[in-house]
């Protein structure tokens, strides 16, 4: 398992997070015996997971800006197709991340799990429409609040996180 996370860490450092995530995902899906992750392994998982979603979210923003500035019908169609592809990838990776967290990563260090779920629901709220937008927004707030409660319980003082995107 350490080899998997060492390779995943290298993939993060070389900006190849898709490969690192697939290594981790396949390991958990195919491994009959799973154990709790070490803090370092949790950190690698968190960094890779958020990186995958965040990069696609930023691409989605850029493409939507380009789309609003494009008059050519064929170019608009091409951009819209690519936007849909990015949205599908965000949803696919989000579902995989949520499933890994639910099945394998809800450990005693739940702060990481709640924070990742809050971040992903925040990104999903930004790309969603109508009721789904509100559902993801409220889910994001719920998970951020849970992570804040854990921090407050462990430190006995108010802890503010700079990661609380939903409140910004």
pLDDT (mean) for 6-18: 92
Q: What is the DSSP letter of 19?
A: H
The 10s digit of each residue's pLDDT in 83-137 is 999 999 999 999 999 998 887 776 656 777 888 899 999 999 999 988 999 999 9
Q: What is the DSSP letter of 14?
A: T
Which carries the bigger pLDDT value, residue 155 or residue 168? 155
pLDDT at position 78 is: 97
In this prediction the pTM is: 0.82
| Cα 93 to Cα 71: distance, rounded to the nearest angstrom | 32
103 phi and psi angles, rounded to 5 deg: -85, -35
Of the chain, the percentage scoring pLDDT greater than 90 comes to: 57
Q: How many CB atoms lie within 10 A of CB 64?
A: 15
Rounded to the nearest integer, the mean pLDDT of the chain is: 86
| Cα 155 to Cα 122: distance, rounded to the nearest angstrom | 26
- pLDDT of 55 > 50? The answer is yes
Which carries the bigger pLDDT value, residue 11 or residue 112? 11
pLDDT at position 160 is: 46
CA R_g for the chain:
17
């Amino acid at each position: 398992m350490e080899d998997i996370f060492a390779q995943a860490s290298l993939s993060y450092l070389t900006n190849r997070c898709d490969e690192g995530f697939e290594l981790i995902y396949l390991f958990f899906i195919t491994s009959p015996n799973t154990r709790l992750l070490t803090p370092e392994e949790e950190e690698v998982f968190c960094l890779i997971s958020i990186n995958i979603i965040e990069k696609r979210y930023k691409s989605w923003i850029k493409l939507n800006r380009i789309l609003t500035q494009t008059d050519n019908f064929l170019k608009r169609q091409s951009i819209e197709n690519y936007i849909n592809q990015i949205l599908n990838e965000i949803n696919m990776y989000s579902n995989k991340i949520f499933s890994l967290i639910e099945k394998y990563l809800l450990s005693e260090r739940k702060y990481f799990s709640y924070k990742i779920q809050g971040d992903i629901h925040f990104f999903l709220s930004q790309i969603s429409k109508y009721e789904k937008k509100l559902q993801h927004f409220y889910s994001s707030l719920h998970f951020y609040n849970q992570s804040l409660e854990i921090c407050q319980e462990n430190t006995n003082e108010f802890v503010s996180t700079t990661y609380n995107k939903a409140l910004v």
